Chain A
Amino acid sequence: MDLLDNLALGLETAFQFENLLYCLLGVVLGTAVGVLPGIGPTATIAMLLPITFSLEPVAALIMLAGIYYGAQYGGSTTAILINLPGESSAAVTAIDGHEMARQGRAGPALAAAALGSFVAGTVATVVLAVFAPPLARAALQFGPAEYFSLVVLGLIASIALARGSTLKALAMIALGVLLGTVGQDIYTGTPRFTFGARELYGGLDFVSVAVGVFGVAEILRNLENEKTRTAMVRRIANLWPSREDLRRIVAPVLRGTGLGSLLGVLPGGGHVLASFASYAVEKRVAREPERFGHGAIEGVAGPESANNAAAQTSFIPLLTLGLPAHPVMALMIGAFIVQGITPGPNVINEQPALFWGLIASMWIGNLLLVMLNLPLIGLWVRMLQIPYQWLFPAIVVFAAIGTFSLDLNAFDVYAVAVFGVLGYVLIKCGCEPAPLLLGFVLGPLLEEHLRRALIISRGDATVFLTRPISATLLALAVVALVVAVLPTIRRKREEVFVEDD
């Protein structure tokens, strides 16, 4: 059977001693760097990329994949422990994960993230092997109109993440989309909103915005309470998830894996959509949705699984179409090209050992990650016991160095300060930062697909409603919006919000 042959070839390649070693090295390095506050997978890979240039192509890509998974896991760790997501998908993990940490349940949160990621990685590897060809064909069916509608749906769905008013969540999305338009216009090259500053031509950096609205704003909020109470609950109730916790996460992990495997195939923000969508789904199906945002373990397990499954299947567009699904994939393309391989439909036929070896190595990487990190949970949790007076200068300093090192651009550091203050004020006014970040990530895609769809349809705006898939997605977006503003649900949200204070 083809499938088994392919997987066997992949495992054989990945289990070669040298490749195994680079996989381990990548995972360890990725975790070590990713766990530094404010430095997520993208920054980690960008900094460590040059190390792999001298390796064989298979080893280099396996090591990069390892760094990626390690950094992703490390990023989730900081998201949970100190509410500082290193990349957009971990922003969802931070919502309930950090709340759990505050309640002294950081251990179970970290374990849920690790176990969920591992299960998702295992399932997604099989999904990838079985469905790669048909899924790639399905992704090809998507035109610009469908992408536009999908992004709209993703943005509207993110309102489900916001605890406060729907209006404010919508405004945060719009603000994020606007901030995403800073920089050179994709079609005409006109620099927009740059005030003549060359440094802004490439746009605002995601890390700056994320570190600003999550990291700095959170620090300021903690300092505000300094006089009255300690910022972090130091009590650590238990390190391992209880039987009850494990029972709770089974279904979210499986649902998250399914969602993630599907959405990951879509080029463009699939993994972000997946973790946000998984969170929204878990909140909808939960028997007590009001627990979400207050440390629900399902809100950690689901999105983390979805994110990981999507990260795995997002290699489908990369390897079959040469399309990067997210910034890390864009860096991977760079690595492919440095190694003399053009990512695209030919990789699977011309370099089967590389293609399947890479896929198998991701599973091994996930396995190594679980083996490495479960025993380390105790160590990570101890990070919480570092006095806050030591921790927050470290966050600011690492964030400054991390954002600066991305492009050696001082503007990225100033942006952290600007977004820190803006985010702080808005959060104080009852606005949630997550929708802003999603708008910022998806905004450029929204504009690009909108304009491309209209060029293809010769300026006919009805194209979004006449194409069935697009119309369905938009209808779902409308339903999601109506559900969000329905009076009964609104009242419930407000109760939740009041309880919070």
Chain B
Amino acid sequence: MENRRSLPDVLSGAIFAGIGLAFVVASLGYDVGTLLRMGPAYFPLVIGGLLVVLGLAIVVKGLVAGEAIAFGAIPWRSVVMVVAALVFFGLTVRRAGFVPAVFVTALLTALASYRIKPVTAVVVAAGLTVLSVLVFIVGLQLRLPLLGPWLTF
């Protein structure tokens, strides 16, 4: 294999090492204990350390002999819309109620597509809202208010 740098390798290695390090640092706040009586920190400390080592190894390998991976473009709009949709659902499902939360979540998600027309997105969102109410509220008896305290007086 010829020597080549691989950005995806370096990036994934850095992510692994970073998360491992974060767990190691957070573990230091808990009791480590002994081999006989392990505290809450022992196991995550060891695995976190292992992840840091693995991550660094992937970084080094990525600098010397990385894998050829086409990283491609990142669909920023899609990422932002999907995350926004999920966060919106979590924030509003209790307070605004099931119907508005599902409708807006579906609308935001539909708009994550680059191709969809705004009218289609609204139709999709409305259809999904009706379907969700039928399946989850009527069918599965999920106990959530259709309209939450924000919208009822």
What residues of chain A have their CB less than 8 Å away from a CB belonging to chain B? Answer: 33, 36, 47-48, 50, 164-165, 167-168, 170-171, 174-175, 177-178, 181, 185, 187-188, 190, 192-193, 216, 219-220, 223-224, 226-227, 388-390, 392-394, 396-398, 400-401, 404-405, 408, 410-411, 413-414, 416-417, 420-422, 424-426, 428-431, 443, 447, 450-451, 454-455, 458-459, 461, 494, 497-498, 501
Contact = CB atoms under 8 A, between A and B. Distances in A.
Given A190-B30, A220-B82, A397 B58 contact: no
B8 A428 contact: yes
B132 A401 contact: yes
B54 to A, nearest CB: 4
Given A47-B142, A428-B8, A413 B75 contact: no
Given A192-B30, A498-B68, 6 more contacts: A219-B82, A401-B89, A410-B91, A413-B86, A413-B87, A454-B38
A405 B47 contact: no
Given A224-B78, A389-B116, A178 B51 contact: yes
Nearest to B8: A429
20 contacts: A33-B140, A47-B140, A50-B141, A175-B51, A216-B82, A216-B86, A219-B112, A220-B79, A223-B78, A224-B75, A393-B128, A396-B86, A397-B132, A421-B79, A424-B79, A443-B47, A455-B36, A458-B36, A461-B35, A497-B67
Given A400-B86, A404-B89, A413-B86, A389 B113 contact: yes
Interface string B10-39: 011101100110010011001100111111
A167 B54 contact: yes
Interface of B: 1, 8-9, 11-13, 15-16, 19-20, 23, 26-27, 30-31, 34-44, 47-48, 50-51, 54-55, 57-58, 61, 67-75, 78-79, 82-83, 85-87, 89-91, 93-94, 102, 105-106, 109-110, 112-116, 120, 124-125, 127-128, 131-132, 135-136, 140-142, 144
Contact of A171 (B54, B73, B74, B144): B54
